[in-house]
Each structure stands twice: as structure tokens, then as C-alpha cells.
Structure 1
Amino acid sequence: MKRKYVIAAFTATVVTAAGLTGCSAGESTGGDGTDGPVTITILESKQTNIDAISKEIPGFEAAMKEQGKDITVELIPDLLTDEQLKTKLTQQLIAGQAPDVLDIGENMAIAWSSAGYLAPLDEYLEDWDGWSHYYPAVKEAMTRQDGQIYSLPSGAGVLNLFYRKDILEQVGVDTSQPETWDDLIGRLEQVKEATGDTPIVIPAGTAWGGGTWGEGFQPLLGGTDTGYYDSETATWDLESPGWLAVFELYADLVEKGLMPVQDLQNPNPWEPTKYVKFPEGDIQVAAQGTWGWKFDWGPDGATPIEGLTEKVSTWQWPGLRDGDEPYGWSSTGGGYAISEDSEHKEAAFEFIKYLSSGKPLAEQLVASGAASARDDLDDVAPYSGEPQLLQAGEDLSNSVFVVTGDGADQISQAVATATELILSGSADGQQAYEAFVKDATELLGPSLVKE
């Protein structure tokens, strides 16, 4: 078993029995692995996931019975925010009482695998023919610092720039793929002149929280500079040139009046930007992931756009520096992991395999608006009937992703604070970068900063 240490943010946490109800990795009706009757647990904190997993459990249990395995799945529904989920599961992992199967985000997987709370999946993956169908970029993204894999993506996506094709055509602005940011900024200035709008939103500032890093800054940085994290030394290179280039881009967009600064400084900045102005056509370009087709602007989304696929299309991220090519940014989203303290790891992986294959996977992807991380799902209904997701899956096969490790949360916080300085007019790009380096250095500590 890997040596465990308590994640620093929670070293002072007092774990009480009341905080651990309903989740016990060791609970079963007997047996070990997949021998004899076994009960495994999974916690889901979002209603979409609760509904999707509930639908798949009977089929899994029946499939196991056909194989002579008596495995029961107990779904623990608990509607929580991401931060609440992180806190609750951290407490349970420390106490050794987490669910067998964990449905978690990438940052949680990074932190918890380093802490020894997650079981390595490599041995199981080597014996599973489904693993050969995952895109190479996805396999790389799921590989942690020690060279092992601790979670299997429940879906994937590509972060791109979504744009209002109908509005740009109305005002006579080119809708072809912009090759560089200079090209795109020139078009945005045309839109602003024609409409008076602030035409683009990219997550920025502290109000957007982790999205400022994960949905805005990091995609821009990763397409410009893949050396900002050194996986060999597990350190962040704060002097890598891409940081300054991205801060200067943010400053340029704000200085030219192209970003909705006031909206970005308000609480829940995604609401006035992505849920009001983009659907109304008053913001014409938005950084967004594959899930936008369903959860934001689809028929059942937060703010449906009638005739969505006729009015909205996507660009890849343009190159930021001379020689940079347009690209898509991979997003692995959530992933299934197994608690290191689970007494039924084999049964838990059987469930993960089932959820990650064929029709069960196709149904989950359509429910969540995610693309397949596998190359063999395009003909599987209902996924096969989702052209936007199929296109995202095609983009995913050659998109960009930079694997990082410990310190991602601290980097996220420092980026949010530094871009807030740009939004408030307190700093230009160079000053924001300098503030970022100071803040990130203090937050990361010397062991995580490259010398």
C-alpha cells in the first residue's frame, strides 16, 4: 500500500462519525474481490449523474449475474457543490470510509492519488481490451506523476471558442477559423464598432473561481507553452514564457474594451455573460467546453438558444505567438476512481468497466453533454445521434493537453487573483504576471516551484 499523508488543506479537519454516514468502503454482504455476494458503493453529487447512474445499475447487476458474479451497487445520492463534495470525500478518505467508486474531477484525482487515497488502475487496465480504444491524449492526461493511472474518464470534451455565426454574418465579419489572436482581435474590434458590445468572454478574475484557470487561462497557456509544468521534477516553472504572454493577452482584451469587465467582477459572472448576453447575441464569442451544447444552450439547458446549431459554431483557439497553430484544448472532466481502502477493488473496477463501455457509456455521455474519450463509440446509440459530440470526439483525438500535478489549486488561485488585477485596472499584463509569480511562489512553497 502506498504511504499516505493528509492533504495540507485538511490537516486540521476533525472527522466525526456524523460526517461519514452512508459511505463505507468495507461494507458488503461477504466475500472479497468479486467472489461471493459483494456490495460496492458510489456517491454521486449532481442530479444528472444520479439519474444516469441509477439507470445503469440494474443492467450492470444483471450482466454480472450472467457471469456468475453476485455484485450489488449501492448508489448514495447527495446533492453537493464541488467544494462540499471535495470536503466530504476528503474527510471520508482520511478516515478510510470513502465509497468504493469515486466520481471525481481532475484536481481531486491529482491531489488524492499523490496522497495515497486512490488505488492504481494500471493492473486492471492492462487486462481490459477497452483501454486500447482510449485516445492517446486522454491516456496521457490521466497518467499521474508516478507514471500510474488512478482514474478513468467518465467523459471528455474539448474547450474551444463558441461564436454567434448569425451575428457575425449580419455585421459582415469573417467567420473562418482565425489563425492568430491578432486576427481574432481585429474581427472583435469590427464587431464592437458595429454593435457597441463587448464581444468576447473568457473566464477571468476571482468571481469565476477555478474556471478562470481551467476554462480560460490554462487552455490559452497550454497552446502557447507546454513547458510550464515539469513532470520529471513535479514542479511549476513560473518563469516559463507562456505565463506573461497570456496575461498580456487578457490585458489587451480589457484595454481595448472587448471583455465585459463589469460582468466578470459580479458574483456568478457566467450568468450575465453565458446565460444572458451570449444567448441574446450581445456577446458574440465565448470560451466554452463541449458541455455548452447541452447544459448551457441546448433545449434543456440553462438558457436555450432556438436554432442553436444554425446560429452557433466553434473555432479552435488561435495561435498566440508567431508560429503557434490553432488548437483545441482537451478536457477530461470527471473520472471514475477506486478508494485505496476499498475491500472490493475488483468488483469496483467491473462497475467502472461497465459504465465506460458501449451503450451505458453512450447514454451517460448524451445525458452529460460530454464527448467520448474512446474511438469506438461513434456508431453506438444514442451517442451516434449527437453530431456536436461526435465532432468534439474527433477534435479530441488531436487536441492539446498538459499533464500537471500537485499545486494546481494554488496556481488556479494565483491566476484568478492576478487576472482580477487586470479587470480592476490595477495592473497591466507585466504587472499581473509579477503579482502572479509572487503569489504562486508563496502558495506553492519551495518544493513545488522549479528553481
Structure 2
Amino acid sequence: MFNGSFCVQDGKENRKGEIFLKKSTRKKLGMGLLLPLTLVVSACGSSESGSGGETQTEDGKEVIEIAYRDFGSANVGLREWMDEVKADFEEENPDAQVDFMPIQASEGDFFAKLALMVKSSETAPDVVTEDTFMINSDAMAGNIAPLDEYIEGWEDWSNFNETVKQGVTASDGSVYGVPYSTDTRGLWYNTNLFEQAGIPVPWEPKSWEEVMSAAEKIKAEVPEVVPFWANSGKATGEATTMQTFEMLLYGTEDELYDQESEKWIVKSQGFLDSLAFIDDIYQNDLGPELSQVLTGKAGDIVQTEMMPNEQVGIVLNGNWVPGVWREDGPAPWPEGTDVYKLAPMPTQEGQEPGSTSMSGGWALSIPEQSDSKDLAWEFIQMATDKEHSKTYILKQGDLTTRTDLAEDPEIVDKPGSVAKEATALIDNTHFRPSVDQYPAVSTKIQAAVESVVTGSQSPEEAMEQYANEVTRLVGEDKVMEK
């Protein structure tokens, strides 16, 4: 270990020993990632480093940096979309250069690194991909800039779905991002395994009991496969909160947050029943091995390995799954959507409206500390226009945020697409609370789910601990029981 003194004249060290290079140096070096501090030994002169904030290359081009989370195989289409936008943007703007800043990290680490980067004009990128559930908290923290002035003069904004716009509007009423993807969630089921188990297809379960019954039949008749899969641990972050727990909770009579009183519902029958359903899956050996599901790679495992190998009967997941099976995707499987079909997730007892879903998505936002906001906005406009949005949807497999693409035959009728089925789920979908404490509350849900899955707590104990922790987090005046 280097124990001597050192100085970093062109960077800022954080508590983790990482250095964020100033934007001026990143542009000169052609790099934009966080650098781990392995060894920095330099002779420290008396001259001061530059003030940062340079936005030009040596040949005079204005540079904008685009930071996004690199999901690996799950977002190959996103990178292909960005590459196309970059080429078109630089052709249309010969005095501009687009640099990418892919961040390969778990969900929590990605949000932490991005939050640290955008705090300073010396390290802030110019465009960031925002998970829409983070929009409100990042806006209230001053991390991203309101886009109202830009949007007011942008005629194309009228072509974006009004419901989806809610996800990029913060509690102050301002818009903080342009959505480029949305999604829905349901139950993927393997028709071959269902037939082996004697379950009629097409399958449209009417209650949780029917879902559980199907899983039990698969276990009995096809014991070599996993009957039911759902993200179940802290490592899969928001996917556990939203795709598993909230898909259950919003199918009960209860919700996570009471909008009228502006309080978190920390105890309810629906909350307890949702944890109990998860508990039943694992207590009855209907779920996957914990080593498979309690890892940040769980999404890749089920989409690129287990489903293509027909090793799982039912998967609670989103409409994007077939994106990894496309011909040029990470796990090509042309017949994937012939084998696995998407069914709506039923409400708990089959009560109205009969099914439920959760929707989120991603948006392009501009950090408050960006020194190239106008050029960044021009990039966002191009990236989300009709032509380039279509490119993204065709390559990535997400649902479009644009009404003028919602019924495009090339998208809807694309082989392997489930756009029709997934779009129909929007009618009964729900969105996460647009409250700045939500990301922190979400981590408490993940912990509660994992504790039940591992058997370390009963559903009742997990709910009790969740209630205590959320109360400490937001204050007694911001919680309620039902």
C-alpha cells in the first residue's frame, strides 16, 4: 500500500478512494468513467489546475457526455440506439462530439455513483438516463434540471403518452426528463411445460390461488423444472420491489402510499398477504434456488439461460424479455414467444378490475450542473423523435412512450413482439409513488422480501420490521396503518 503523500491536481477524491476527473481532462483523454484510485504518485508543483468546465476538444468541437447504466446483455439495444443517435447527431452538428459514459454497476451503486458525479460541474455529464422512479428524488435534490422552458416550445411533446408523462413530472409540477421507454409486467408461462402438467392453454389465471395451483401442478408433473420465478432479493433492487412485491400489493385492496393523507401505509392486510404469497412459494419449494435468485445477475439467469432452456414454468417479469431473444441479441431464440406467452397478473381474489400491472420506464434528463444544456437538449430531442424512438423500441423491445408509434405495424407485428399483449396491460397498470423518499423506502421492501425468502423472518415479523424502519426513516407523522 502506498502510504506516502500524494496530490491529484486534476481530480477530486471521494471517501471511497475514487477519483472523478474534471470534465476538461476527461475530454482530453477521451474517457468519462469513474476511476478507482489504485496508485497515484505525482510530483506536486505549485501551479494550480484548471477550473474545469471546458466543453471543447482540441479541434474546437463542443462535447456532450451521455451517462447511462450498462445492464450488460439486458440493454444491448439501448447501446445500438445510442450509437445510431450519436452518428446522426454528429453528422447534423459537425461542430459537436458525443461521448458515452457507460456505468457497469449494480442498481444501488449506479444511483450512488451518478448522484456523486452530477453534484459538481467538474464531473457532471450533460445527459443521464434516469429510471423514472428516481426523477422526483433527484429533482428535489437539485441533481437534474427542469425542462419546462425547453418543452414549452417543442411541438413533438404532444406525441408522448399523457400517462407516461406523469412519471417524469416531479412533485413541484415541473418536467425533469423525456421518457424513451415504458413497460408493463405480467406472467410469462411455458406452454410446453403447462401441457406436460395438464394445465390448459392459453392460461389466464383469475386469482393468486390459480397461480399457486399451476405452480404446484408443475412441481408434481415436471419436477425437474422451477415452477415459479420472481425477483426476490436485495441484489435485484427495484426489480424485487416493483416486479414482485408491488405486483402483488397492487392486486390487493391496499397500496403502498396514501396520496390523500400523504402518508406511507406501513401495515395492511394487503402488505401481509403479499409477503405471505412469497413465503408460500419458497416454503413449498416452488421457487428457484436461492443462489440463482439472490444475485444481481438473476435477471440474466432467467432470461438468457433458464427460459431458453425451458427450465422454468412461470416467470413474473416484464414485456422486455423477448428483447434478449432476438436474432442479434445476447440469447437468440426465434421461437421464444411461441413457447412462452404473456398472461395478465390477476388480482388477489379476482376482484375488479381483474388484473394488475406496474409500469415504469426510463427517461433522458439533464444534470443541473451540465455546462452544455442547450446542446444536451438538442441531443434529447433527436434521440426521442419518432424515427429514433422507433429504432430503440425495435432493438430493445420496450413499449413506446409515443402515441404515434403505439400502433405502428412494424412494431406491433414484429415477429417475437408482445407489444399488443403488453400494451393492453396499461389499462390496469399502476405507478410507484412520486415521493422523494420512495427510493429509500424501496430498499426496506427489498429487505423484507429477502428476509421472508430466506426464512429468517415470518411475513408478520418482516412487516413489523419494515414498519419500524420506515417510521424511523420518514417520521411518525408520515406513516399510517390500515
TM-score range (shorter-chain normalised) is 0.7 to 0.9
Q: How many angstroms apart in 2 are the aligned matches of 1:348 and 1:164?
A: 44
After superposition, the Cα gap between the structure-2 partners of 1:73 and 1:278, relative to the gap in structure 1 and judged at 3 Å, is: same
The one of 102, 111, 124 equivalent to 1:78 is 102
1:201 Cα offset (Å): 0.8
Partner of 1:377: 405
1:275 Cα offset (Å): 4.2
1:339 Cα offset (Å): 1.5
Partner of 1:286: 315
Question: What TM-score, normalized to structure 1?
Answer: 0.83
Within 5 A, what are the aligned runs for 1:223-372?
Answer: 223-225=251-253, 227-231=255-259, 235-263=263-291, 266-267=294-295, 268-270=297-299, 273-295=302-324, 297-305=325-333, 307-321=335-349, 323-372=351-400
User: Deviation string for 1:9-54 (max 9, x for gaps)?
Assistant: xx97788553765369954459xxxxx9854332344373344212
Greater C-alpha radius of gyration? 2
The one of 186, 195, 209 equivalent to 2:213 is 186
The one of 411, 414, 434 equivalent to 2:441 is 411
After superposition, the Cα gap between the structure-2 partners of 1:324 and 1:192, relative to the gap in structure 1 and judged at 3 Å, is: farther
Please state whether the residue corresponding to 2:312 is helix, strand or coil: coil
Q: Give the number of equivalent residue pairs.
A: 431
Partner of 1:166: 192
Please state whether the residue corresponding to 1:155 is helix, strand or coil: strand
User: Deviation string for 1:186-242 (max 9, x for gaps)?
Assistant: 222222221124411111133433321132112222343564224566542213443
Is 2:176–2:365's contact at 8 Å kept on the other side of the alignment?
yes
Is 2:182–2:360's contact at 8 Å kept on the other side of the alignment?
yes
The one of 242, 263, 267 equivalent to 1:214 is 242
Please state whether the residue corresponding to 1:391 is helix, strand or coil: helix
The one of 460, 469, 477 equivalent to 1:439 is 469
Within 5 A, what are the aligned runs for 1:81-96?
Answer: 81=105, 82-96=107-121
After superposition, the Cα gap between the structure-2 partners of 1:100 and 1:274, relative to the gap in structure 1 and judged at 3 Å, is: closer
Q: Flag structure 2 segments of 5+ consecutive residues without an equivalent.
A: 1-13, 27-31, 33-50
Q: How many angstroms apart in 1 are the aligned matches of 2:138 and 2:442?
A: 17
**2:471 corresponds to which letter in structure 1?**
T
Give the aligned CA root-mean-square deviation in angstroms. 3.4
Partner of 1:40: 64
1:142 Cα offset (Å): 2.3
After superposition, the Cα gap between the structure-2 partners of 1:328 and 1:305, relative to the gap in structure 1 and judged at 3 Å, is: farther
Partner of 1:195: 222
Please state whether the residue corresponding to 2:21 is helix, strand or coil: helix
Q: How many angstroms apart in 2 are the aligned matches of 1:400 and 1:339?
A: 29
1:376 Cα offset (Å): 0.9
Question: What TM-score, normalized to structure 2?
Answer: 0.78
1:444 Cα offset (Å): 4.4
Q: How many angstroms apart in 2 are the aligned matches of 1:37 and 1:276?
A: 44
Q: How many angstroms apart in 1 are the aligned matches of 2:267 and 2:22?
A: 42
After superposition, the Cα gap between the structure-2 partners of 1:403 and 1:121, relative to the gap in structure 1 and judged at 3 Å, is: farther
Runs of 4+ in 1 over 6 A off after TM superposition: 11-15
- Worse-matched range after superposition: 318-327 or 241-250: 318-327
**1:440 corresponds to which letter in structure 2?**
V
Q: How many angstroms apart in 2 are the aligned matches of 1:355 and 1:327?
A: 34
Is 2:231–2:293's contact at 8 Å kept on the other side of the alignment?
no
1:441 Cα offset (Å): 2.9
Q: How many angstroms apart in 2 are the aligned matches of 1:255 and 1:103?
A: 38
After superposition, the Cα gap between the structure-2 partners of 1:37 and 1:389, relative to the gap in structure 1 and judged at 3 Å, is: farther
After superposition, the Cα gap between the structure-2 partners of 1:143 and 1:378, relative to the gap in structure 1 and judged at 3 Å, is: closer
Is 2:249–2:255's contact at 8 Å kept on the other side of the alignment?
no
Partner of 1:7: none
Q: How many angstroms apart in 1 are the aligned matches of 2:269 and 2:151?
A: 37
